[in-house]
């Protein structure tokens, strides 16, 4: 176990480049199992979840080689069947994404139920319903067993726009016989990235970026190369960092369409920025003030499927709100455990009422004071880092492996901006 020691209250300055998207790279890595050809991926973040996914494929018989700091070449020609190592799958929530590729390539797969963050129940019914519609049989006891005598294209309406459900069904459908249509599909930037990667390898997918995907099945996929997009959630984290520490920070390699809703929500908390030529600049010394709804009503910020505000940004937005003048209600609709991290903010001096597992009221600004904390999950862990950097005094954050699962070399990036942060053995 390792920990961060952070001395807060120091202004930051400079430029920072976000890593590749965690939520894109994991399904893209899984998708390389569909083919026995070589796939090269650029802008791959070297985070814990990526390394575990590569370990899983290596244990199954795949090979990979790092060609540079963030470029990896993968060949899964040596993978002989759809049996995935249970011990590694239990460490990784994204291991469920192996189901679609292995089903497509081998006609069957056996997986352990996935591990990952404990932020609430994450149902798998959407995945299984899609596989069944394509002609597979699903059994779920201590293990997940999926098999088919050949997948056939189908018109599938998802009962919810599940991101991983959409990705899994999409990957299964690319080699299915005939046409598949996925309606009420998720269309987040990382889903679009997976679609573009598959098209690069020869898949036939239309409707990318919409909630209706049409897939014409092909016989096989070809070698190819794909660049992982910058992580818009990391970009949002750095916007929040600049606002909370009242610092001037420029964030590089930003896709404007990926941050429109994030920018809209931050503007309701009083955060402004400028975006030009792929760079996003947050000016220093912003006086944050929550913008009330019409009629001077207390505003409500909630999350939802794309293009709504992403659930993974809720922890960051709540933390920023502790430094904004006014009152705001946050409504987390998607997970029933994400809000519990606010106890840590309260211990630092934040004024937050936890109404129930889905709603909190934040009243700001509040002077935060350094204390001892523990990271409960990837996004809440990063939110606590932001709080510690804005707080008066020193903070110790334990369990930073959760942060490492989503943010590559985060302490190095923060130190380059002038942050007082060091990693020490726990």
Any idea which residues carry the catalytic annotation?
117
8 Å CB contact between 397 and 424: no
Please report which helix (H) or strand (E) contains residue 295, including its range. Answer: none
Task: Provide the token pair at 346.
Answer: 């309260």
8 Å CB contact between 14 and 414: no
CA–CA gap between residue 249 and residue 370 (Å, rounded): 23
Q: Which residues of 344-383 are buried (b: 16+ CB within 10 A; e: fewer)?
A: bbeebbbebeeeeebbbbbbbbbebbbbebbbbbbbbbbb
Q: Tell me the three state secondary structure of residue 60.
A: coil
Q: Pairing mode, if any, of strands 394-398 and 372-374?
A: parallel
CA–CA gap between residue 337 and residue 378 (Å, rounded): 13
Burial of 256 (C-beta count, 10 Å sphere; 0-12/13-18/19+): exposed
Residue 330, beta-bridge partner list:
301, 360
Give 199's contacts (C-beta < 8 A, 6+ positions apart).
205, 208
Q: Radius of gyration over alpha carbons of the chain, in Å?
A: 22
Task: Provide the token pair at 334.
Answer: 């998607």
253-258 long-range contacts (CB < 8 A, ≥24 apart) are 253/17, 253/18, 253/278, 254/18, 254/230, 254/278, 254/279, 254/280, 255/189, 255/229, 255/230, 257/189, 258/189, 258/229, 258/230, 258/232
Report which DSSP code applies to 188: -
CA–CA gap between residue 357 and residue 345 (Å, rounded): 16
Burial of 277 (C-beta count, 10 Å sphere; 0-12/13-18/19+): exposed
Please report which helix (H) or strand (E) contains residue 352, including its range. Answer: strand 351-356
């Amino acid at each position: 176990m390792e920990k961060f020691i952070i001395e807060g209250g120091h202004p930051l300055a400079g430029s920072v480049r976000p890593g590749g998207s965690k939520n894109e790279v994991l399904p893209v890595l899984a998708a390389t199992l569909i083919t026995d050809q070589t796939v090269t991926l650029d802008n791959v973040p070297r985070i814990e979840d990526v390394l575990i996914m590569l370990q899983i494929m290596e244990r199954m018989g795949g090979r990979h080689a790092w060609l540079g700091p963030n470029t990896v070449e993968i060949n899964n020609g040596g993978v002989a069947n759809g049996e995935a190592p249970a011990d590694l799958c239990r460490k990784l929530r994204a291991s469920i994404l192996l189901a679609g590729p292995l089903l497509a390539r081998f006609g069957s797969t056996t997986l352990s139920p996935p591990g990952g963050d404990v932020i609430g129940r994450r149902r798998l019914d959407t995945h299984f319903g899609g596989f069944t519609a394509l002609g597979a049989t699903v059994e779920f006891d201590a293990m997940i067993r999926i098999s088919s005598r050949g997948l056939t294209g189908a018109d599938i309406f998802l009962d919810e726009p599940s991101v991983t459900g959409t990705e899994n069904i999409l990957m299964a459908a690319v080699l299915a016989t005939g046409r598949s249509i996925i309606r009420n599909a998720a269309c987040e930037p990382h889903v679009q990235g997976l679609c573009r990667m598959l098209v690069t390898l020869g898949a036939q997918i239309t409707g990318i970026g919409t909630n209706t995907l049409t897939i014409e099945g092909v016989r096989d996929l070809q070698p190819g190369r794909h660049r992982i997009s910058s992580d818009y959630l990391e970009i949002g984290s750095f916007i929040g960092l600049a606002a909370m520490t009242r610092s001037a920070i420029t964030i590089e390699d930003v896709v404007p369409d990926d941050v429109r809703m994030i920018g809209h929500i931050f503007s309701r908390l009083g955060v402004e920025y400028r975006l030009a030529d792929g760079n996003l600049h947050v000016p220093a010394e912003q006086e944050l003030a929550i913008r009330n709804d019409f009629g001077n009503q207390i505003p409500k910020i909630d999350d939802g499927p794309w293009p709504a505000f992403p659930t993974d940004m809720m922890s960051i937005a709540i933390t920023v709100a502790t430094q904004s003048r006014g009152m705001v209600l946050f409504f987390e609709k998607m997970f029933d455990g994400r809000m519990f991290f606010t106890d840590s903010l309260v211990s630092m001096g934040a004024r937050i009422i936890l109404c129930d597992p889905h709603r909190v009221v934040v009243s700001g600004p509040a002077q935060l004071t350094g204390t001892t904390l523990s990271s409960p999950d990837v996004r809440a862990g990063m939110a606590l880092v932001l709080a510690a950097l804005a707080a008066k005094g020193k903070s110790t954050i334990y369990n930073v492996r959760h942060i490492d699962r989503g943010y590559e070399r985060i302490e190095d990036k923060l130190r380059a901006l002038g942050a007082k942060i060091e990693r020490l053995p726990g």
